[in-house]
Amino acid sequence: MVIRLAELKNACRCLKVCDLEVLGYHDSGMADWGYQHQSMVCCNVAAPVVAARIGALFERYRPAGDHYPQRERQTAAS
């Protein structure tokens, strides 16, 4: 987990992402890893619970389509 979190933080730095939110779920892993039965493993969390948490982040950060003006101009010109 520590390595993946470090990779995620590095990717955010490279992409200039200023707000990183980690939901705290454990990786679902592979079938033979043997811990998929735990409640905080991502595959065991009910979809509505995850959707509500992500929805709350959308409300908090209010992402807008104007973060990529160059892409929008290229799309409009195509």
pLDDT tens digit at each of 78 positions of the chain: 678 889 999 999 999 888 899 888 877 767 677 777 777 788 888 999 999 999 999 899 887 765 555 554 444 544
Tell me, yes or no, whether 3 lies in a domain. no
* Domains in the chain, number: 1
The whole-number pLDDT of residue 67 equals 56
Tell me, yes or no, whether 34 lies in a domain. yes
CA distances from 31 to 25, 35, 47, 54 (A): 17, 9, 20, 26
Q: Tell me the pTM.
A: 0.61
- Domain holding 38, by residue range, is 23-63
The whole-number pLDDT of residue 69 equals 53
The whole-number pLDDT of residue 78 equals 45
Tell me, yes or no, whether 14 lies in a domain. no
Tell me, yes or no, whether 6 lies in a domain. no
Tell me, yes or no, whether 57 lies in a domain. yes
CA distances from 60 to 4, 43, 63 (A): 25, 25, 9
In this structure, what token pair is assigned to residue 67? 């973060």
For residues 28 and 9, give the distance between their C-alpha atoms in angstroms, rounded to a whole number.
20
Tell me, yes or no, whether 55 lies in a domain. yes
